[in-house]
Amino acid sequence: MFQHQLVTEDFYNYQVWYFQILGAWRLPIWATGGQKRSHAFRFGFILVMLFVMLLLFAVELVNNISRIRHILKVFFMFATEMSCMTKLLHLKFRSRNLAHMVEMMKSKTFSTRGKEEIEIMESARRVVIKMRNFYGILSLGTVSLFLIVPFFAGLEELPMTMYEVCNIQGSLCYWLLFVFHCACLLPTCVLNITYDSVAFSLLTFLRVQLQMLVLRLEKLGSEIDPRDNQRIAWELRECASYYNSIVQFKDLVEEFVKVPGSVQLMCSVLVQVSSLYDISTISIANGEGIYMAKTCIYQLMMLWQVFIICYASNEVTTYSSRLCHAIYSSQWTGWSRINRRMILMMMMRFDSPLLLRTLNPTFVFSLEAFGSIVNVSYSYFALLKRVNS
C-alpha cells in the first residue's frame, strides 16, 4: 500500500506543488491564518497579472481592428492566455473535487495486485514522467525563443504583441515592458505545462486501471470444484465494484479536463489560424527567418498541447471497449447459472465505452477530435487567405 502511494505521487506530485504556489490548490484544513493569507495573495497576484495581460491584448485589438495581420498576431498569444485564465479559475473553484480525485488515486481500491499489474503501473509512471519532461523542455524552449527574438530585431519590438503603455523607443520604457512580458510569460507557461501534463497523467492513470481490470477479467478461471463457484462469484462482484470506482474516478477526471480542455480546443483553432496566416506572409528574404522559426515551433507546441489530451482520452475509450471481450475470454462455460447471469449483466454494463466529453456533449476528446481541430484550422486559414488575397 505504501509503495502504491509512492508510485502514484509521481503522476501528479510536482504539478500539485506548483498549483499550491499559485494559490489555486486547496490548503489543508490545518493551515494557519498566515498560510491562508499568503495563499490568497499569490492567487490574487497571478489573477491580476493575467487580467492585465488580457486587457492589454483587448485594447490592442480595438486599436488595430482594420489591420488583419496585426490582429492575428495579437490573437496568437491572446488565445493562449485566455486558456491559461480558464485553467487557473477552474483549478481554484473546483479544487475541493480535484483534491478528492488525488485521494482516490492513493486509495487501496486502485492499488496493484501481482507482478503483471505492478509492471503496467511502473510502465505508465515512466511514460508520464518522460512526457512531462519533454513537454516542459519544449514549452520553456519556445518561451525562451519568444524572449530572445526581440534582440535580433534590434530591440524594436517586444516578445508579445499587446498595447504599449509608453513609447518603447525609450530605453527605460522598453526594459520595463520587457520585464513585464517576462513576468507574464514564464508563470503562465509553467501553468500550461503543469495543467496539461497532470491531465495526461490522470488520463494515463485511468487507462492503467482499465488495463488492470481487463487483466483481472481475463484471469477468471474455470470451475474445478463447487467451491470455485463461490470464489468466482466473489471475484465478479469485486470486479463490478472496481469498475464502479473507475467510473467515479473517470467522472472526476472529466470534470478536471472538460472546461479548460474545451476552451483550449477553441483557442487552439485561433492560434493555428493565426500562425498559419502569419507564416504565409513572412518572407525569409526580408530577414524574417528567425520570426518564422519562432512561429512554427510555437504552432507545433500548441498542436502537441492538444494532442496529448486527445491521445490519452482516446486510450481510455479504447481500453474500456475491451472489457466485454475480456470477460468473454474467461472460462465462463463451466460456471454456475448465477455466475453466467452475472457476467451477462456485467457485459451489458461494459457495452458502452467510457468517453470524456467536452462542453458540447456530442463532441468527445479523441484522436478524431484532434484531426477535426487540424482540419477546421486549415479550412479557416484557407478561407481567410482567399478573402484577403
Q: Which residue has the cell 513576468?
A: 183
Per residue in 323-332, pLDDT tens? 988 888 888 8
Where would I find the H helices in the chain?
A: 2-9, 13-22, 33-63, 68-93, 95-105, 114-152, 171-218, 226-281, 289-320, 323-328, 337-350, 367-387
- The phi-psi region of residue 132 (left if phi > 0; otherwise alpha if psi is between -120 and 50; otherwise beta) is alpha
**What does pLDDT average to over the chain?**
84
Taking Cα atoms as reference points, which of 282, 274, 290 lies closest to residue 71? 274
Per-residue cell: 241: 465494484
Mean pLDDT of 341-364: 89
Mean pLDDT of 342-357: 89
Mean pLDDT of 180-193: 86
Per residue in 212-221, pLDDT tens? 999 988 888 7
Per-residue pLDDT, 170: 65
**pTM (2 decimals)?**
0.90
Per residue in 264-303, pLDDT tens? 888 888 888 888 887 777 766 666 667 777 778 888 888 8
Beta carbons of 306 and 80 less than 8 angstroms apart: no
- pLDDT-above-90 percentage for the chain: 19
Query: Does the pLDDT of residue 207 top 80, yes or no?
Result: yes
Higher pLDDT: 6 or 176? It is 176
Per residue in 23-76, pLDDT tens? 888 887 888 888 888 988 988 988 888 898 888 888 888 888 777 777 777 777
Tell whether 120 is covered by a domain. yes
Per residue in 43-53, pLDDT tens? 898 888 889 88
Tell whether 36 is covered by a domain. no
Number of C-alpha atoms within 13 angstroms, CB side, residue 316?
29
Tell whether 53 is covered by a domain. no
Query: Does the pLDDT of residue 188 top 90, yes or no?
Result: no
Split into its structural domains, the chain has a count of: 1
Tell whether 33 is covered by a domain. no
167-178 burial code (b ≥16 CB/10 A, e <16): ebeeeeebeebb
- Distance, CA of 265 to CA of 303 (rounded, Å): 10
- Distance, CA of 86 to CA of 68 (rounded, Å): 26
Tell whether 86 is covered by a domain. no
Tell whether 39 is covered by a domain. no
- Distance, CA of 241 to CA of 247 (rounded, Å): 10
Q: Which residue has the cell 524552449?
A: 141
Mean pLDDT of 302-324: 92
Tell whether 379 is covered by a domain. yes
Taking Cα atoms as reference points, which of 249, 268, 276 lies closest to residue 309? 268
Number of C-alpha atoms within 13 angstroms, CB side, residue 7?
22
Per-residue pLDDT, 274: 81
Tell whether 62 is covered by a domain. no
Structural domain harbouring 105: 2-15+97-387
